[in-house]
Structure 1
Amino acid sequence: MYKKILCVDDDPITLMLCKKVIQKSEFSEVIDIANNGEDALKYLDAIKGGHISDPDFILPELMFLDLNMPVMGGWEFLDEMTEHNYIEHFPNLKVIVLSSTIDPKDIEKSKSYPMVLDFLSKPITREMLESLKK
């Protein structure tokens, strides 16, 4: 079981479904949410910058990331993470791209990011989570 994961998606129904499946599967103790890539970067920046004063704060270990979102999509988010070396600050954070696209080019592109663990198609299922359990 993961201690904390971060779900990044602009669709409230997808987020609700993710939370339900994750909770029922006992996949993670805590589920944090960001509505787009920019919000996810702000979340990570707050951690990186030491702006979270709670000594019991748990770093997310896994992120489910949608690709197509307003403000900042998944590709832009991954580019920012790579360009600004977030992997140095979050070496244990792995990303699962969770998208409705099945374009082989997207799947191949996701492999070029060192923090991306896998590319899965929506919707998230219990079987998917079983294959990701640590």
Structure 2
Amino acid sequence: MKKVNSLYVIDDDKIYHFLLKSLLKQNGIDIESTFFVNGQEAIDYISQGDNIKNLPDLILLDVNMPIMDGWQFLEEFAKLGNGISRKPVIYMISSSNNEVDINKAKEFNATVKDYFLKPICKEDIEKIFIG
């Protein structure tokens, strides 16, 4: 089993936040979770104080969000490079099954581990948290 103690969820869908919390609980995954409604909110938080040194083990990142989408978040996150002491594992989670988005995620293969379609299910949770 993977050692995952902390999680950032960057997604503008509050219903998804609720469903994800429920799915984690149903699967016995007790994890410290922080939720953001867009990439800018997450970047602002990460950039404050020592937060850049205390990044989570895992980030679940939506593609389509207002203000700053998932792709823009990845670009801004990469700019923080030198200040990041350890890199979290990032999974893209999206309702978009557009080949352009799926292929774009592959371009970020050094940063993005995989791409999952919403709604995520028990099997996806197992792949992400258990391996």
TM-score (norm 2): 0.85
On the 8 A contact 2:11/2:61 being kept in 1, the answer is: yes
Aligned partner of 1:93: which letter?
P
The equivalent position to 1:98 in structure 2, one of 77, 93, 97, is 93
Task: Name the counterpart of 1:50.
Answer: 50
Question: 37-46 or 21-30, which moves further after superposition?
Answer: 21-30
Unaligned runs of 5+ in 2: none
Q: State yes or no: 1:61 paired with 2:63.
A: no
Q: Matched residues, percent identical?
A: 31
TM-score (norm 1): 0.83
Unaligned runs of 5+ in 1: none
How far apart are the structure 1 equivalents of 2:42 and 2:35? 8
Alpha-carbon distance change, 90 to 105 in structure 1, aligned in 2, over 3 angstroms: farther
Q: How many residues align?
A: 127
Deviation beyond 4 Å, 4+ runs, structure 1: none
User: Aligned runs of 1:8-19 on 2, under 5 Å?
Assistant: 8-19=10-21
Q: State yes or no: 1:30 paired with 2:32.
A: yes
Aligned partner of 1:15: which letter?
H
Q: State yes or no: 1:127 paired with 2:118.
A: no
How far apart are the structure 1 equivalents of 2:30 and 2:43? 21
Q: State yes or no: 1:89 paired with 2:84.
A: yes
Residue deviations 1:80-111 (CA, integer Å, cap 9, x gap): 122x1437605330111000001112111111
How far apart are the structure 2 equivalents of 1:51 and 1:60? 9
Task: Name the counterpart of 1:117.
Answer: 113
Alignment RMSD (CA, Å): 2.2
Aligned partner of 1:94: which letter?
V
How far apart are the structure 2 equivalents of 1:90 and 1:74? 21
